[in-house]
Amino acid sequence: MVYLIDGTYELFRAHFSKRPGHRAPGGWDAKATVGVVASLLALLRHADEEVTHLAVAFDNPIRSFRNDLFAGWVPRGRFEAWCDAMDVRTLKSRPTRWAPEE
């Protein structure tokens, strides 16, 4: 079975979950990365899912008011590095021009 994961949503969900925080040895907040990696490993290990292919898609980063409200939740490049190490393909959307927010 082929799975396409919404990486941006999964990172956001994992970061704001009730699970305890997690700091990497370098001191950065690893809660989102650890949460998504744990979910994907569980998916890959689940025999009933029969995963044959896996890809993770990310929204293209844009500047919006959310950057100020939720500063620091995006583990820039951390999860993508794990995907590369595990040979999981990642996809990013093309840059989009948004209308100014009012």
Q: What is the pLDDT of residue 97?
A: 60
Mean pLDDT of 79-100: 69
Residues 87 and 4: beta-carbon distance below 8 Å? no
Given pLDDT bands bounded at 50, 70 and 90, which one contains residue 1? confident
Q: Domains in the chain, start-ordered, CATH in brackets?
A: 2-92 (3.40.50.1010)
Backbone angles phi, psi at 85, to 5 degrees: -65, -35
Q: What is the pLDDT of residue 100?
A: 61
Between CA 15 and CA 26 the distance in angstroms is 18
- 0.85 exceeded by the pTM? no
> Measured in whole angstroms, how far is the alpha carbon of residue 85 from the centre of its chain?
15
First to last CA, the chain: 43
- Please write the tens of the pLDDT for every residue from 23-77: 878 887 888 888 888 998 899 898 888 888 888 887 766 666 666 766 665 555 6
Between CA 18 and CA 62 the distance in angstroms is 27
Q: What is the pLDDT of residue 82?
A: 72
Residues 87 and 55: beta-carbon distance below 8 Å? no
